[in-house]
Amino acid sequence: MDEDIINVVNRLKPLICPKCGGEVSYLKYVVEEIHTYIFERDEYGKFNYTPDDSWPGDWEEYSCPHCYEVLFTNEEDAQRFLRGEE
Ligand SMILES: [Zn+2]
């Protein structure tokens, strides 16, 4: 539903990166995340990492896919940009 609206807005008016002026149809989402793994030696003597747990870190960034400049640091602002709002 929300994605349909975003697609319509993007078709009507191109989104422009305020840092480089490039046309943007999506943002790069970069997020810090903590992962824990089980590290063990199997019956063949091989070492393995098995995913165990993960949780959010301290930061997240929404960047321009062209110039990689950070445009937003929260989802609300990133959504507003993709909706074409000022
Ligand atoms: Zn840019």
Residue 11 in this model has a pLDDT that exceeds 90:
no
Go through 51-70 and write b for each residue having 16 or more CB atoms within 10 A of its CB, e for each that does not: eeeeeeeeebbbbbeeeeee
Global pTM exceeds 0.95? no
| Residue 84 token pair | 């074409």
Domain ranges of the chain: 2-82
Provide mean pLDDT across the span 70-78: 97
User: Residue 65's pLDDT band (boundaries 50, 70, 90)?
Assistant: very high
Q: Who surrounds ion ligand 1 at CB < 5 A? A: 17, 19-20, 22, 64, 66-67
14-64 pLDDT tens trace: 899 999 999 999 999 999 999 999 999 999 999 999 999 999 999 999 999
Q: How far is the CA of 23 from the centre of ligand 1 (A)?
A: 8
How many other β-carbons are positioned within 10 Å of the β-carbon of residue 46?
8
Provide mean pLDDT across the span 56-81: 96
Q: How far is the CA of 19 from the centre of ligand 1 (A)?
A: 5
